[in-house]
Amino acid sequence: MAKILRRTRADFIATGVIAALSVAGVATVWATAPIRQAELHPAAQSYNAAGTLAIVPAELHEIWRSTDTSTNQRPAISAGVVVTADGSTLKSFTPAGEQLWSYERSDELCALSTAFDATVATYKTGVGCGDVVAINATDGQYKATRSAIASDNVVPITSNDRVGVLGTERVELWRSDLVRTVEYGEVEAAQEADQQPNPECSLTSAMTRKDLLAVTETCPDGAHYLRLQATAPEDSRVPEISQSIAIPDGRVVAIGQTAAAIYVDDPQPMIVSYKDTGEKLSEQPVSAATFPDAPFQSATADLPHHMSWFDGDRLTLFTPTELSVGQVFEDAIGTGVGINGQLVYPTASGLTIANWDTGEVIRTIQVDRGGYQGSVFLGIAGEVFVEKRGTEVVALA
């Protein structure tokens, strides 16, 4: 018969030591986690957004402004709340300019997005731009967090259904609880080999909508591709690419539920759109555009029936299904918004109202920008226009 094992005093001591070390280790990780070094000041009470702007007023005047050093072109607006960044500190404001909540930390802010009625902020820690926090827009309470190895230089990528970041090495998307749904590119410390099909290629642009993720990239042999893939494959570590389309060097500038449009400049500047089956839908010559080094965020904005893109000199509207070029507004200085079936877009003299189907200009509301001459990107918070002017947001009513 086998000898019956009995617990000894030494066993209890060893067990106690192990348990104590485990608790200490967990406590150390918790205490030193990046989010523990942050200070969140929630709203005193939840903000309930009033109505939204339905009629463009005859006059507009500045009612408040705030510093916004985020890299976003457009103002960050979620659930009627305006969110700004002053360095690494986030602040939120009602349309009237009342501060709701703030979030402070010492880490560098990499990217700022809005989705799911929340603000999603990505910070750089010792493992790159991989520490992410989502904060409810209306009350300033934590919604979700995540932390993972990431690239050191990223830009936000977002839609109504996903949010994530794009770097030259990798793009990844997360759902509303910040659980990753897909990653594509070069993955550090991969759990299994050969899960990524093109880890050697360098990503140059990406956009997403619904179930579609469109990525352009350049590979070591000099070839360029548009990759169309799923936003939520069965395994988030294994991309499901439906189409790999060889293209001249290009950038994604518009995306629909089943199509993507890219800008290419070879053999001449053109907008070319492709269906998610790989079929070419449209091809149209356009004026030449330039792009900053990757990664970068295309200056795009959704309108009720169009996607739009500002190339630095003009605003282009795309048809909703084929993403062919619709109207082009040469006097635009940024992206606009849709109000009551019309386009409202920024120009050097103010905000211009136009028919988005015909391109006809209806009228312009003068806006005094105090000598500012850069790009302007427009948003709406409640019944207030919000302009992003360089490192400031300015509310107009």
What's residue 193's pLDDT?
Answer: 83
- In angstroms, rounded to a whole number, what is the distance separating the alpha carbons of residues 35 and 133? 8
pLDDT of 3 higher than 90? no
| pLDDT 10s digits, 218-259 | 999 999 999 999 999 999 999 999 999 999 999 999 999 999
What's residue 188's pLDDT?
Answer: 81
What's residue 31's pLDDT?
Answer: 40
pLDDT band at 9 (very low <50, low <70, confident <90, very high): low
What's residue 11's pLDDT?
Answer: 53
pLDDT of 268 higher than 60? yes
pLDDT of 8 higher than 90? no
Mean pLDDT of the chain: 92
| pLDDT 10s digits, 34-72 | 555 899 999 999 999 888 899 999 999 999 999 999 999
- In angstroms, rounded to a whole number, what is the distance separating the alpha carbons of residues 103 and 38? 7
Q: Kindly list the structural domains of the chain, giving each domain's residue range(s) and its CATH number in brackets, ordered by start.
A: 52-74+303-397 (2.40.128)
With tokens 């939204």, the residue in question is 52
3-state secondary structure the chain: CCCCCCCCHHHHHHHHHHHHHHHHHHHHHHHHCHHHHCEEECCCCCCCCCCCCCCCCCCCCEEEEEECCCCCCCCEEECCEEEEEECCEEEEECCCCCEEEEEECCCEEEEEEEECCEEEEEEEECCEEEEEEEEECCCCCEEEEEECCCCCCCEEEECCCCEEEECCCEEEEECCCCCEEEEEECCCCCCCCCCCCCCCCEEEEEEEECCEEEEEEECCCCCEEEEEEECCCCCCCCCCEEEEEEECCEEEEEECCCEEEEEECCCCCEEEEEECCCCEEEEEECCCCCCCCCCCCCCEEECCCCEEEECCCCEEEECCCCCCEEEEECCECCCCEEECCEEEEEECCEEEEECCCCCCEEEEEECCCCCCCCCEEEEEECCEEEEEECCEEEEEC
What's residue 10's pLDDT?
Answer: 52
pTM of the model: 0.90
pLDDT of 197 higher than 80? yes
What's residue 359's pLDDT?
Answer: 97
**High-pLDDT (> 90) share of the chain, %:** 87
| pLDDT 10s digits, 336-355 | 999 999 999 999 999 999 99
For residues 282 and 34, the model is more confident at: 282
Pick the range with the lowest mean pLDDT from 19-28, 282-291, 313-322, 385-394. 19-28
pLDDT band at 383 (very low <50, low <70, confident <90, very high): very high
What's residue 25's pLDDT?
Answer: 42
What's residue 261's pLDDT?
Answer: 99
For 186-201, what is the mean pLDDT?
88
| pLDDT 10s digits, 118-169 | 999 999 999 999 999 999 999 999 999 999 999 999 999 999 999 999 999 9
What's residue 184's pLDDT?
Answer: 98
**CA-angle at 153, arms to 152 and 154, nearest 5°:** 120
Question: Any long-range contacts for 192-197 (C-beta under 8 Å, 24+ apart)?
Answer: 192/237, 195/235, 195/237, 195/238, 196/239, 197/239, 197/241
pLDDT of 33 higher than 80? no
